[in-house]
Structure formats: structure tokens, C-alpha cells
Structure 1
Amino acid sequence: MDTTCIRFALRAILLHLLLLSLPKLSIAEFIYSPHEIFSIHCGSSTNFSTRDGRNWTPDIKFLTAQSHHSFAAPALTPSTIQGPYTIARLSHSQFAYSFPVTAGPKFLRLFFYSTSYQNFDRTNAYFSVRFGPYTYTLLQDFNASLNADVYNDPAQPDILFREYCINIREGERLDITFIPTITVQHQDSYAFINGIEIVSMPPFLYYTNPDDVDITWLPQPVGLNTNPFPIENNYAMETKYRLRVGDQEIPASQDTGMLRSWDVDNKYVTTQSVLSLDIDSGIKLRFTKTPNYTAPDTVYRSLRNMGSNGTVNMGFNLTWQLPVDSGFTYLLRLHFCQLDPNISHPGDQSFFIYVQDQLVEKWADILGWSDKQKGVPVVKQYVVFIPGNQQETLNLSLKMHPNPQSLAKDAQINAIELFKINDPTGNLAGPNPDPLPQSPKRVPLETSNKKSHGTTMRTLAAIAGSVSGFLLLSFIAILIKRRKNVAVNESSNKKEGTSRDNGSLSVPTGLCRHFSIKEMRTATNNFDELFVVGVGGFGNVYKGHIDNGSTTVAIKRLKQGSRQGIREFKNEIEMLSQLRHPNIVSLIGYCYESNEMILVYEFMDCGNLRDHLYDTDNPTLSWKHRLQTCIGVAQGLDYLHTGVKQVIIHRDVKSANILLDEKWEAKVSDFGLARIGGPMGISMMTTSVNTEVKGSIGYLDPEYYKRNILTEKSDVYSFGVMLLEVLSGRHPLLHWEEKQRMSLVKWAEHCYEKGILSEIVDSELKGQIKPQCLHKFSEVALSCLLEDGTQRPSMKDIVGMLELVLQLQDSAVNYEDSSSHSTVPLSDCSENTGLSTTSDGDRSYGRMESFVLIPDDVFSETKNPKRR
């Protein structure tokens, strides 16, 4: 036997002995060997190793030349957690790393220890992190100490960890830049990092293989769109959750070679369930549907189910609630493996799967997915968009329920992975959490000076006596005053009808009615789900009946745990209670008691504008009706900008916030984010407000989110996006579209420049729009989207422009009759019957009664809008 054979035999024996000595160690550890691993201890000058097998090396050779002003400083409070936490790289100015990596997908991991360092106070760590060669934002104005305090893990105090999936192209380097957020409020800000890790991963672990012809296993969108959503190489993703079912986490050393950590799912399960560990370990796992490095073996040998044991158990859903940042698209990966000895045939156990309360699997059958083979792991993938403004945290829900036609009334799962996908601007950063309530500081009562102990005690006793007397007198005075206030408040409550149960609301009671929680429960049959007519970031909207059923209203109820809280609630009441305009939704009243925040509006029979444009089974609106709706919205916004004492900037203009009443009149709604500007002077005045950026992704004014300065022209920009929505019948952002068409604004600009505007028109409007009308409408929309906000028209001018556009449509001759198209006529929405669109008697927008042909120079200000 030659030496090569001997060495091979010895290695095999040693590997066998190792497996025998570590029975809990997954054999999957030996399946994938990353060809590239960088484990960098930032600030350190020496190598060291940790028990998980990582070899940490100094960072100095990867720093860029521009980073000479950065410092290496030791932590003033040593961490008890093993890892790269003894020293950090810190700087009050920008610094960067550059890594010579090979092409392909990588894990990028950032390690932070949020403590004070020499000359760097903990609370001043406020910075952004970007990586290239492309511009992706991983963290934006990230407050390290605040995140560490709010999301503190007792097992790893003050440790922050972020993991990202990125892809590097051939010949490119991986650059990571740390940028302190220097502002008036944060002049001493600095950026810091303790550890950076880059680990190569298999090419198609999370990214989609473009050559895969079997679309069955591609990520499926949640919602009406049924086209698969491939995870392309140009996406960057942040790992939000990697959860296994079990009694303890799987550390990085026991992953399949990629140093991933698998947390337990316990704190995210919100319903009763059963945990089964090491089930049927006699069955060998066979990775025929997914690679054997997908997850460690132990992931597939434990499961969570409903504990039905074969009996009917249909009274609840198996539910997880995963907090996520709104305004982003997420990749959800669900891991399954059938090892139950009682399940022998496909269909024996099937169940429903809901994501965000939308049914994604009606017949989830693990044995069917695995070609009737037990012990075959499978992964199902879904892509879900969480609407919002990227400034609030909402819950992504996963629910499972037995199929009543199934033999075994049960549902089960092994693991959950969730990844956030970058938005079209390359952003992955979410908001900082709200600060924790400040706890009172402790006053030290002991002194180390024994000699002065008696004196100190006597002094403390004297002080305590004085303070006690003062507090007693103060308490009596406060008690007397409070009784007087209670009497006044009770009298005021009876007179004004305002609620004091959970605090005072400054609301003009003559304009806004206060409802009790009992009235709200009666109006909605105790918030029966059958009464739900809409769902938003705020919560559910119910159709209710007040005043003994004589008045129908819309009741918007804040859901528990929503980040859109008391500030937005009060803001909407104070705004809407003082606004009166036919194109502004009317607030009838509110309920603020028993830990409930509820708003009551006039009921809008025809729902919102978006529900008649796309992603809906409702018949679409005719082109003329869409124009009239846009004019109504413009009139409402013009009233907010010029018709009140102070400018009101809505900040969330979009089709979903435009409601339609039974006569199809458009009304602007949802004033939770609205802000008051300065007093109105000249109508063209621009009122600037320095404010935190809020709004909805896809509609945000670039000037607003880049410079943090808000004006009424920000509403104009959002209105311009809405005009394109109306014209195209599509969402402002479509992540699954090709790059050129992903952004509706950029696609429209491209088509305008190429003279192919017809390509963006909704197919439902074929033959309805005259070319001259289309051209002028597009000019109005693009003028709203100009980069320089001062060059955008005012809402007052836009009203006039759109009325002229409508005249162009009305005055056109020999155009195709629109009655042949499946569009909603101008009729009573509740009747759902056809009505001729030739009568405009109920709608007046100040148009000229006799026909006048409009010359081109009327639109001179939008004739050649500046391209962005």
C-alpha cells in the first residue's frame, strides 16, 4: 500500500472517530468548505482564535489610504463574550476598508460592541455604513447605543450583529465605508467597528440560478401577482431572522461550514404549539430536493406542530409574528422535512399557509413536495412587500392551519429564514428604535470614609427629615389641587364630551365628536372581522353604524404594537377636525380610552383609488373618470397649501390615500404624517420645514429625503407619481420588473424622451385617450417630478392645467367609444350599475361652457420639463 493510500485511510479513520466522539455534531459541517474567509479584528495588531474555530486577524492591511485619521482603542468595559470585542476601530471622520475578494456571493458580517472607548463616549456613536463597488446603504444614521439598549440580549449585553448577503462581480473589490453622522445635534459623532467577516457561500444558496428551468421552487410573490420573483445577483439582502425549532440555538461552529447562527423561534411564536426534538432519528436525511449545505441536520430533526395527535384541532392557527421594517420587500424561506411515522402517503397531512394573512399554500403537503420520500428536506420561498414609509416597524405574520380535508389535522415546520431585500435606491437601512423610558438615577447612600460615616448619616437624616416634611406638604397641596382639577374636568367632560381616560387631547369639541369604546364595539359588532373593509399600517378599517344604525361610518382602529401611535393619532384629529373641503375626507370623531385609539370618518362607499387601478378584481376606471379624480385630488391639496391660515403639507399623497364616495368624488385622507408649515403669504411661496423624513417609498420627493427639507412642493412630487399611477395602472415600484421599468418615474421619463409614451398607458385605457391629451397630461405629471422643487408648479396651477387637459379630452372628435371597455362609469358605487359618462352635471371644475380649442402655448411652463 503506498503512502497516499495510507494517508487517505488515516484521514477517514480520524474523521470517523471524530463523528463518534461528537454525536450531536451535524455531518453537514463537512459538506461545504468556503474558499474564502476573512475574519478581521478591527483595531487589533495581533492574531487570535476563538472557540468557534475563527482565526481573527488585524485590520491594518485592509484600511484605505484615506483612513489614516482613524484610531484603535480598547473597550473601557471588557466584554464577557468571546470574539472581536476587546478593541475597536473608531473615527470622527469617514474611514474605509477594501478587500481583494473573488467573484461570487458572500456573507458580510459586522460585529459591534456598544460601550465607551478611550476618548469616545458610548452615546456619541452615530453613523452610516455603505459598501461597494455599488452604492448600497447598510446602516443609515445608526445609533449604536440606542439599538443596544432597546434590543439588549441578556446573554450578549451590548453586542450588535448584522449579517448581509452580497454578490461581487469579476475583477471588483469589496469596499466598506463608515461615515459618522455629523449634525448640529451630534457634533461629536463617530463611527466604529469591532469585527468584519466575509465568507463565501455557494452560488445559488439564496440567489436564484438563472439556468433553473423548474420554477416550482422559485420565490413566489405574496398577493395577486403570480409571476415568480427570482433573487437576482444585483440584490443585497440583510438577514433578519434565521430561526430553527428547538430548545437551543445552533452556533456558528455547527453550521454547514458557512458560520451561520440559528436562533430558536420561541419568542416569535404567538399561539400554542408543541415542540418535538430529535424525532425519528433512525431515518437518514436525503438531500434530493435541496443541497445538503442548506441547513444543519439538527434543523430537520426537530419540528413545531399543533399537537393534534391525529384528532381534529381546527380552533386556532399556528402563528409567528416577526417584527420588520416597513417599506421593504422580504424573502421568506420555510424549511420542512417529513419524519412522522404516521404519515405514509401524500395528502395524509396537508395544511394552509398564510403570509400577511394572504393564502400562499392551500395544500401544503411535505410528503408530496418530497416525491413521497420521508427524510427529504424541502424549502418553500415567498416574497412579500410590507407597505409603509421605512420609518416604522410592523409585524410580518406567518400562519399555518390544518386543511379540513386532510387525514391528519395538523401543521408543522422545521425552520424559518427571513431576508430584507434592498429597495431601488440600494437602501437596506431601517429606523433607529424609540428610546427606552428613562429610569431614575440611583443616589449613592454609602461613603467609603469611615471617619465621616456618623457625620454623613446625621446629615442624611437631617436632609431626609427636611425632604419628608417638604414632600408631605407638597403632597397635600397637590391632592387638593388634583381634586379641584378632577371636579373641573368632570364638569368639562360632561359639557364637551372629551375623553380623559388616557390623557388629554387638544381637540375642538364643536367640530369633532368623542365616542366611547362601548359605542365603537356596538358599531362594529365587537370589531367583527366580517366588518373589515381595509387594512393599513395603522390597523384595520371597519364599516360601522352609529346613532342606532342610521349613519354608516368608517372606523379606523390602531392595532396593538403599531409604531404609528399616539403622535400620528393626535395629529390626524387636530388636522382633520379643522378642515372642511369637498375633496378632504371628513373626520366625524374619535375614541381614546381603554388603551384604544380609534378614528371615525365618513364612509366612502367606493374605497380607495388604488383599488380601482391595479392589484384588484374591481372594474377599472375610465380615462375621463380618472382625470376628474385627479382634478379633485389637486383641488384638495391646493386647499391644504393655500386655503388655510398655515400651509399644511400632507407628506403621504398616494393612490391608496385617495378615497372615493358614492358619487365617485375624490377625497384626500390619512393625515397622520401631515405637518404644518409657515403662514401663507403669496400663493407661490415655498414653506420649508426641517423634519424627520417620513412618507411612502416610491412617492418620496428626492429633495426631501436627500436634504431633509420639506416643502409643499414635496406633495407636488408625490402627486406627480400618483398621476403616473393613474395613467399606467401600476405600482410606483415593481421589484420583479427589469431594471429600466422597476421605477415608474424613471420608466415614464425614458418613454417621454424616446417619444413612446403609449408604452406606459394602462392596457385597460386602450382607445380612450386622444394623443394630444396624453401628451399634455404627461407633461403635467413630469413637471411635478422635476428635481428642483422650486421649478415644480403649484397645486393651484396644476388644477388649471388638468382642467384644460380634461377639455382637450372632451373636445376631441372621432375618438373610439369607451363603452366597450370594462371600466367603471360615473354612477352610484353601491348600485354597481352602468351609467352614461356624457353627463357632467354633478361635477364642476370651473371649465368653460363653450368649446375652445386650447393652443400649445397654454402649457408653455411644462412644454420642456427639465430631465432628471
Structure 2
Amino acid sequence: MTTYCCDSSAEDIPSDVQIKSLSLKVKASEADLEDYGTPAHPQISVCMSHKQFTHNFTVSPGHKFTRLHFCLASYPGLNVSDALFSVSVGQYTLLRTSQSSYSRDSSDIKCVIREFVMKVDAQILSITFTPSSGHSKAYAFVNKIEIITMPANVYMQDVRLPLVGNSSQIYAANYTVLETMHRVNVGGDDIPPEGDARMWRSWSGDEDYFVPDGALTSILQSKLGIKYSPEVPAYTAPEKVYSTARTLSPKSGGNMSWSFLVNSGFCYLVRLHFCEITREIRQNGRVFKVYINNMTAGIVRWSRMPGRPVYRDYIIDCSELDTGMEDLQITISSDNGPSESDCQGILNGLEIFKLPDSRDNLAGLNPFGTATSHGSPYREDKATRISLSIFYGLFAVVFLFSFTLLYIPSEWYGTFSLCQKRSSKCCKPFGENAIPLTKIMSTTNNFSDDALIGTGGFGKVYRGSLDGGATLVAVKRADPSSHQGLHEFQTEISMLSKLRHHHLVTLMGYCLERKEMILIYNFMGRGTLREHLYKTNSPPLPLKKRLEICIGAARGLHYLHTGWKQIVIHRDVKSSNILLDDKWEAKVSDFGLSKLGPDAMNQSDMQVSTAVKGSIGYLDPEYYRRLKLTAKSDVYSFGVVLFEVLCAKPAILPAHGNGDGPQSLAECALKCYHSGMLGQMIDPYLQGKIDPDCFRTFTDVAVKCLAETGRERPSMGYVLWNLELALQQQSRADGEKLRGPADKILAGNSSILVAHQLYNSDKNIGAEFSEIIHQTAR
């Protein structure tokens, strides 16, 4: 291990680099400062410069851990808020700071380690620090640099890996640089570097990441000897990782989940470590599913001796959203039910690495995280999180009460009339994404008809832009005469602030000012699904495009039903609420009528009593009759959408000249299906183009969605699985051949290689765990 400390003993100091020392008379924990001084005389030294400087290290070619240590403090003559700089190795930008990277409390020292895995081809490793050119006082700094040689192919392997949630597979090239985001010892304590002697890594316990959601889990600790193998050598992870685990308790069912803060705009390598450490588990005694961001990553089945570790690698694409930070969720689920196995899912450890984007960039928002770090700088303190939750909960109650009295326009009160003075500024009762009305009026040219792109139940929708025209947005302006009002406005903001998914629309901001209620979303360039099905001048959609759109919408709805701690019932699923971006990706929209259901751990047919709301033609008849809302109500509505897609007809068919009034598409489709006449009802454009197997799979699941009662209807997961099967059947019938072993494409902002065969990241397939990679979104 090569260690470079910035103190008076440092050699080969680059020109223009100064060494400054700070005697500590400020707040800081001993754990943060143990590498920078002694408890009696704590002192931090730093290498800094107002000009670009480069540290050159003589190393042997191969794979390295490179760890950069930063102690965020105001050193003599310097203000830490001026530490605006970037760090690069070759063409790769490792990190970039901004003023938001630093605490406003100058007495609060935070020491952070940023770790990178890199392949060095030459005998010189050059690390360049570049102060920002846009700030006159900007400087770059570093406190310590560690370079540790590691065996080849520990993380950078020339193997094909599954891209979670995509029917293709991606080939993980031998990347030159990765960034460590999280390294967790599940079920165990923190492991300091000296506890991982072979690789000198830090592992965090999982308590700060584990999401308790009602499932019964157990912590396993075992003295069972760990039996490494050539495929999983001892340096893969220390014995302490494989000797502890968190597991779902026998016969409990349910899920166990962990949530990790990551930068949006990147793809991530997720490595999961498994090892059976209970001798009592029989062969095939553990069967469980792995979900990442609510999408199926694989099914794992324990098959052989205990004590033999394995790992699985996955790629997850988080590049679609550009929200700065987002949560990456890993879930172990006993979806197969307790009857199939004695003991459910298990996880021993995990690691998450950021992949560079297409510009060879790894720099994300806030490179120094939110807390001190000898493990991950993105680790959250649970007590802080709970305290903040309580604080914000109390604050919200007080604020909403005050907001009701002071800011709601008087005509929304009904018989109440409060003549309180209202602020002319845009109020922010729902968060920090409020956008001033003047800015919105400017971008829509004062809501001119030229900017108008549509009209819905909430009001009119206008085209606009933010960030100087760089970001196109859709501006939804409430109509005062609309039946949807403040409650729907609040619900939309509340839901979309909690929910994040590739197939849900992204709320960019809102405005509640001068009696205006306005919501701002990402602009969807292809409009609504309905606009491409009937009463349109657009060319008919090909069958495969229709199937892909249905699959995307089903993934979004499945996330609503299973991906959060409570079931979210959309309550207004229809073709006009499925939006399409420029890439024809489906996004579920319009959450104004959404309703929170029971805990997601419960069955999706648990009922919520509520007044009937929804759209004619899509409304669940059971919900209409009994006023009992369930997630299966969304399934019914989605069944109507499936027949809209197949038949290119509206949910309410117009009256015919024979005297019959308007008819429901759902009723007509069911009659035709049971009489064997459905083929005559489909879109003429699709006649002769649908594979019989695909047609049977698609129509069967659509009919099941329209069952009379919720208990007879399938879950959205079942619907999704069958839609993906239908797409595979149609693709096979079209004679599509698998492309070559690796075709390069662009996934989000990350350059990846696509392969169309299933591979595991280690060669130990079928030894201890057998895995079926089933690319179905959860």
C-alpha cells in the first residue's frame, strides 16, 4: 500500500502546492481524525493550491484502489467554501465540488474518503486537482492519498451482466474506473480496514440502510467455517461478511429491503454476497427473488453445502432521472410463498459502484455526502433521520393549518370567507420546488394559445421551458371551473414527491400564487397513448411498439402497487394518462385522484372505503357498486387500456344507428372474446400481423383484468409477466435473430455493450446458488 500524507515529511510535492496545518479546537469525532493526529494534539495538514497540480505515483501496472481523503475545514487563510475544484485521472473526472458540498457551520469538521477502483496500464498514476476557473478564490486540496494494489478481476471482469429491468443483457466492459458508493456488511457490525486485511476495505453495518416494513427478519451469526473457492477467492469479501446475514424468518413471507442514496444520471454495478451459514437448511430450502429498484433482478435457490460463498453482479440504470440524488432500493422477497421452502431470503453483504457516463465522468452532486465517513460518505444516520421525520411531520401539521387560514383563495372555502392578506410571493407549502408565476408566464408567453398543447380534467396544458430553454416542460394550469381542485393539486405533489420510477412522470415544480394552481412536468414529446390509437392523423403504431408501451405502463403501475411502503392506487388509469416521451417510453401520469392503500406487505385486494372517482369506461364496476377501492381497481382500468391498444377504439363506443346507446368497450370485448369473435374487433391495421400465441397471451390477460370481482383479477406483476411473454412470442414470430455477442448502445448517459445471452458474474453456476435471471419489472 502506498500512502501519501500531506505534511512536512511529504516528498515530491508538486510545484505551487502549499502545506497548511490546522490545530484542532473544533468539533470532530476521534473516529474522523484518528488518521490525522493524536487525541492529545490533533492536527490536520493539507496540500492545497490555487492552481492546477498533479500528484504522480510510481506504481506497477494493474488494478488499484485509490482513496482520496478530504477533511472539510477552513484552514489558515482559507475558507472551505472556496474549495471549488475537480479531480481527474486521465480522461476520467472523478469528482467535482460546489459550494453546496460544504456545511455552513465552519466549526463542524467532516472527514470523507472517496474510493475509486481503477486499472492502471502504465507505471505512473497521475491524479490531477483543478481549481474552478469561475471563482477567483477557488483552490483545490487533499489531505491524504492511498493507493492499494488488488488482484486482477476483483471488480472489473470481462463478463456479461444483466441490465435490471431490460429484456436485453449488457456486457460489462473492463471499465478503467469505478467509484465505490456503498459497501455493507449485512447483519453485522462495521468492519474497519484492518478487519479486511487482504484488501484494506471499510464495510458498514446495515442498520442505517435497512428499511423495516413489517416483515419478520432475523440476524444470523455463525462460526461456521467459510470455504472459499477459485471462483470466489478469499479476497472477494472477508469472513466476517459471509459469517453474518439478515434473513426473512421462517414462514413469515414478505420482503426485506435496503435503501441507498446514490447520484442520479449514472448506471451502477450492484454486487450481492450470499452464503448459507445455517446447517439446518435443506437442499433447495431457500428460494427467493431479488429486486433492484422494484425490478426483478433474479431468482435465487440454495442448492448445496453451507459455508460456500457466492456473489451476483447486476447493472442498474439510474441515468433517466436527473434529480441530483435518488434512492436505490434492494429487496429480497419471499414471493414464492413459505410453502415452497423452510426459510426465505438471505443476504450477507453488498457493494454498489458507480459506472462512468458516456463522457467518462463520475462526478455527481455533493461528492462529500451527508455525514462523516470511514465507510460511505452517503451513509445516513438513523437517529438523525427519525428526528428529522418527527420534526418535519410536526412542522407540516402546523404549516398546513397556517396555510389553510392564510393562503387558500376565498372561493375555495365554500361558505367561509376569511379576508386575510395573502402574500404576493409564490408560497411553498409542499417543498422547495416552487416556481414563480412570473417565470411560468414568461415561458408560456402569458399562457398563449400558441403554447397550448392539450386540455384535461385538471385544466389546460402548455409547452414551456426552464434553464434558459435547455429543459422542455409541460405546464398544467388548473381551470377554476374544473371539478378537480386544491385536494387533487396537493395529492399530485405529495405522491410524486415520494415516488420515483422510470415509468412515472417526473414533477419538476409547481406554483400556488394569485389563485393559480400550476404543475410543471418533464415534457413528453409524443403526447398521450390515446393520441396514437384513434381519431389521429399519426401513422398507426406497430404491434411491438404497442406491446412495449403497455409493458412500460404496467411496470409503472406495478411499482405503485408494490414499490413503496404503502400501496398506491392510481384510481384514474386510462390511455390519456399514459404519456410517451421522444423514445416512446411510457410514463404513467395524473396522480390527482390517487389514494394510499394498506401496507404493501398485505394483499393487494385489501379494501379502502372511499367515494367513487375515476373516468367513465374505465371504472371498476365492483368499486362503483360497493365503494370499496383496491389495487385491483387499477388492474380493471388497465384491462380497458389493453383493449384500447388492441382494437384502436375508445373506452366508450359511440351509439349506432340501430337505436342502441353508447356501449362500453370492456363489455363488447368480453362478449366478442367469449363468442370467439374478438379477431373481428381488433384494429384493421393489425389484421394478419399478430402471432396467434401472442394474440392468445395478450387477450387472455386482458380478459382476466376485466373479471367481475377484484379477487378474480390478477396482480399487475402477473399482467406484466404475460405482456413481456407476448412481446417475446411476437418477436420470435417476426423471425428476429439475436444480434452478435456484444453490440454497443447508449443506456441513459452510460456507454454499455449489449449481449443477448444470460451469463453470471462468476463461473460457479449451480454450485451453491442457482439463479434464474428473469427480467420482469416488479
TM, length-normalised to structure 1: 0.47
Distance in 1 between the 2:325 and 2:71 partners?
A: 24
- Show the counterpart of 1:181: 132
- Show the counterpart of 1:578: 447
Give the CA deviation at 1:120.
0.9
- Show the counterpart of 1:138: 94
- Structure 1 residues 504 and 167, CA gap change in structure 2 (3 angstroms): farther
Distance in 2 between the 1:414 and 1:38 partners?
A: 30
- Structure 1 residues 408 and 827, CA gap change in structure 2 (3 angstroms): same
- Show the counterpart of 2:433: 566
- Show the counterpart of 1:94: 52
- Structure 1 residues 332 and 651, CA gap change in structure 2 (3 angstroms): same
SS at structure 1 position matched to 2:8: coil
Is contact 1:659-1:666 (8 Å) kept? no
Is contact 1:182-1:188 (8 Å) kept? no
Match of 2:309 among 349, 374, 377: 377
Counterpart of 2:132 in structure 1: which amino acid? T
Match of 2:298 among 361, 367, 373: 361
Give the CA deviation at 1:166.
1.2
Counterpart of 2:347 in structure 1: which amino acid? I
- Show the counterpart of 2:278: 340
Is contact 1:148-1:158 (8 Å) kept? no
- Show the counterpart of 1:41: 5
Q: Deviations over 1:176-224 (max 9, x none)?
A: 11112243xx4322111101111111111101146xxxxxxx5321013
Give the CA deviation at 1:258.
1.7
Distance in 2 between the 1:276 and 1:655 partners?
A: 49
- Structure 1 residues 174 and 487, CA gap change in structure 2 (3 angstroms): closer
- Show the counterpart of 2:86: 128
- Show the counterpart of 1:234: 175
- Show the counterpart of 2:289: 352
Counterpart of 1:167 in structure 2: which amino acid? K
Q: Deviations over 1:632-672 (max 9, x none)?
A: xxxxxxxxxxxxxxxxxx995565877653537699xxxxx
- Show the counterpart of 1:453: none
Give the CA deviation at 1:145.
5.4
- Show the counterpart of 2:492: 598
- Structure 1 residues 355 and 234, CA gap change in structure 2 (3 angstroms): closer
Is contact 2:82-2:139 (8 Å) kept? yes
- Show the counterpart of 1:244: 185
- Structure 1 residues 139 and 666, CA gap change in structure 2 (3 angstroms): farther
- Structure 1 residues 423 and 333, CA gap change in structure 2 (3 angstroms): same
Is contact 1:219-1:331 (8 Å) kept? no
Is contact 2:224-2:243 (8 Å) kept? no
Deviates more, 1:410-419 or 1:287-296: 287-296
Q: Does 1:295 align with 2:229?
A: no
- Show the counterpart of 1:706: none
SS at structure 2 position matched to 1:123: helix
Give the CA deviation at 1:109.
0.8
Q: Deviations over 1:287-312 (max 9, x none)?
A: 35411110110111111112x2x3x2
Give the CA deviation at 1:71.
1.2
Is contact 1:325-1:393 (8 Å) kept? yes
Give the CA deviation at 1:567.
3.0
The structure showing larger relative contact order (alpha-carbon pairs under 8 Å, at least 6 residues apart) is 2
Distance in 2 between the 1:435 and 1:100 partners?
A: 30
Structure with bigger gyration radius: 1
SS at structure 1 position matched to 2:48: strand
Is contact 1:115-1:145 (8 Å) kept? no
Give the CA deviation at 1:359.
1.6
SS at structure 2 position matched to 1:83: coil
Distance in 2 between the 1:224 and 1:90 partners?
A: 45
- Structure 1 residues 282 and 388, CA gap change in structure 2 (3 angstroms): closer
Is contact 1:235-1:422 (8 Å) kept? no
Give the CA deviation at 1:128.
1.2
Match of 1:392 among 319, 324, 327: 324
SS at structure 2 position matched to 1:90: strand
Distance in 1 between the 2:361 and 2:114 partners?
A: 15
Is contact 2:20-2:47 (8 Å) kept? yes
- Structure 1 residues 266 and 594, CA gap change in structure 2 (3 angstroms): farther
1:519-558 to 2 correspondences below 5 Å: none
Counterpart of 1:178 in structure 2: which amino acid? F
Give the CA deviation at 1:418.
0.5
Is contact 2:291-2:332 (8 Å) kept? yes
- Structure 1 residues 260 and 283, CA gap change in structure 2 (3 angstroms): closer
Give the CA deviation at 1:591.
6.7
Give the CA deviation at 1:431.
1.4
Give the CA deviation at 1:125.
1.4
- Structure 1 residues 585 and 326, CA gap change in structure 2 (3 angstroms): farther
Q: Does 1:200 align with 2:152?
A: no
- Show the counterpart of 1:491: 410
Counterpart of 2:413 in structure 1: which amino acid? K
Match of 2:263 among 322, 325, 329: 325
TM, length-normalised to structure 2: 0.52
- Structure 1 residues 96 and 507, CA gap change in structure 2 (3 angstroms): closer
SS at structure 2 position matched to 1:299: helix
Cα RMSD of the aligned pairs, angstroms, is: 4.8
Give the CA deviation at 1:391.
4.2
Is contact 1:289-1:377 (8 Å) kept? no
- Structure 1 residues 275 and 286, CA gap change in structure 2 (3 angstroms): same
Consecutive unaligned residues of structure 2, counting only runs of 5 or more, are: 37-42, 371-400, 460-477, 479-483, 496-501, 504-519, 539-580, 587-644, 653-664, 670-680, 687-778
Distance in 2 between the 1:98 and 1:378 partners?
A: 37
Distance in 1 between the 2:13 and 2:537 partners?
A: 58
Sequence identity percentage: 24
Match of 2:203 among 254, 262, 271: 262
Distance in 1 between the 2:452 and 2:110 partners?
A: 53
SS at structure 1 position matched to 2:271: strand
- Show the counterpart of 2:77: 119
- Structure 1 residues 666 and 413, CA gap change in structure 2 (3 angstroms): farther
SS at structure 2 position matched to 1:583: strand
Give the CA deviation at 1:118.
1.5
The structure with the greater share of residues assigned to helix is 1
- Show the counterpart of 1:161: 113
Q: Does 1:412 align with 2:329?
A: no
Give the CA deviation at 1:70.
2.2
Counterpart of 1:234 in structure 2: which amino acid? Y
Q: Deviations over 1:58-80 (max 9, x none)?
A: 2x4163xxxx2221100253664
- Structure 1 residues 566 and 339, CA gap change in structure 2 (3 angstroms): same
* Equivalent pairs, count: 466
Deviates more, 1:249-258 or 1:283-292: 283-292
- Show the counterpart of 1:701: none
Q: Deviations over 1:806-847 (max 9, x none)?
A: xxxxxxxxxxxxxxxxx9897659979655679xxxxxxxxx
